[in-house]
Amino acid sequence: MSTPRYIKDVVTLRLDVEKCNGCALCTQVCPHAVFAMEERRARIADRDACMECGACAKNCAQGAISLSPGVGCAHAIIRQWLSGEEPRCDC
């Protein structure tokens, strides 16, 4: 089974290639193979596979990756709409 697909063209993932030092940690921590290395710099190879978990940004010591992480969970987002609080899950 290939990587499952979700809604296209919505994720907030951004990569500033200028800041990349080629450590390739983003390719290691990403669970959906979003990044690839090209000429010793990272590039976003498969943006629509991104689930915005934030592992790449957290482990980019250069601060080259940005995204607005959140909870990919309808239940939590409904609670956020109702309460105005940050989305949280009860897991």
Nearer to other proteins, 17 or 77 (CB): 77
Distances from the Cα of 38 to the Cαs of 28, 43, 47, 67, in angstroms?
Answer: 15, 7, 16, 21
What is the nearest approach in angstroms of other proteins to the Cβ of residue 18? 19
Nearer to other proteins, 12 or 83 (CB): 12
Nearer to other proteins, 40 or 75 (CB): 75
Query: How many beta carbons lie within 10 A of that of residue 26, not counting itself?
Result: 23
What is the nearest approach in angstroms of other proteins to the Cβ of residue 55? 4
d(CA 8, CA 82): 26
Tokens encoding 90: 């009860």
Contact 69, 88 (CB under 8 A): no
Residues binding other proteins (CB under 8 A): 1, 3-8, 10-12, 25, 28-33, 49-56, 58-59, 61, 68-78, 86-91
What is the nearest approach in angstroms of other proteins to the Cβ of residue 88? 5
